[in-house]
Structure 1
Amino acid sequence: MKNLNYGIIGLGKFGSVVADELIAGGHTVIVADKDEETLKSIQNPPSYAYILDSTNISALKEAGFHDVEVVIVSIGENVEKSILTLMALKDIGVKNI
């Protein structure tokens, strides 16, 4: 299996498990969450970790989300923020969300 670059936004129950599995599989993983403590809870250290507002296009670009092959959005508590995040990722050219 080809190693891909992944981005994961939102590290709740789903996002953190996906991040751990991808990291353990040797993939390059950029993770982002709004909460520093959530970032610290990941079992395997990611390639890059950011505390950011996922609706902010500049923050997403600065973190490198425009350079990954796949971004997984797992923001469960706020549907509006999930939709705005998806739109921001599309705006920066992410093809696989």
Structure 2
Amino acid sequence: MTTIEILGFTSAFLTTCSFIPQAIQVIKTKDTESLSLAMYSIFTLGVAGWLVYGLVKQDNAMIAANMITLVLSSVILGIKLRNDVKIKRARLIEE
């Protein structure tokens, strides 16, 4: 493995791991009120794009990191969407 590949895998590992605490917190608490739906939607789409790019380039570090990050960001986005729908329904019922 070359030095640049080690740098790539290390960077991919660190940025992917940075998402784990947020994912764990959201999964445990189901609290997504302070999270931006637009940000997570755009971010998740961007990660999917990077995954496709990594697949085309056959870059294993990029593929691994973006597969894991896509799963984590999709879980957070899914919980955020579910919570937002629940809140909107509750507001409609109150009216």
Q: Same fold (TM over 0.5)?
A: no
> If the length of structure 2 is used for normalisation, what is the TM-score?
0.27
Structure with the bigger percentage of strand: 1
TM-score w.r.t. the length of structure 1 is 0.26
Which has the higher Rg, Structure 1 or Structure 2? 2
Q: Which has the higher helix share?
A: 2
Which has the higher relative contact order, 1 or 2, with Cα contacts under 8 A spaced 6 or more apart? 2
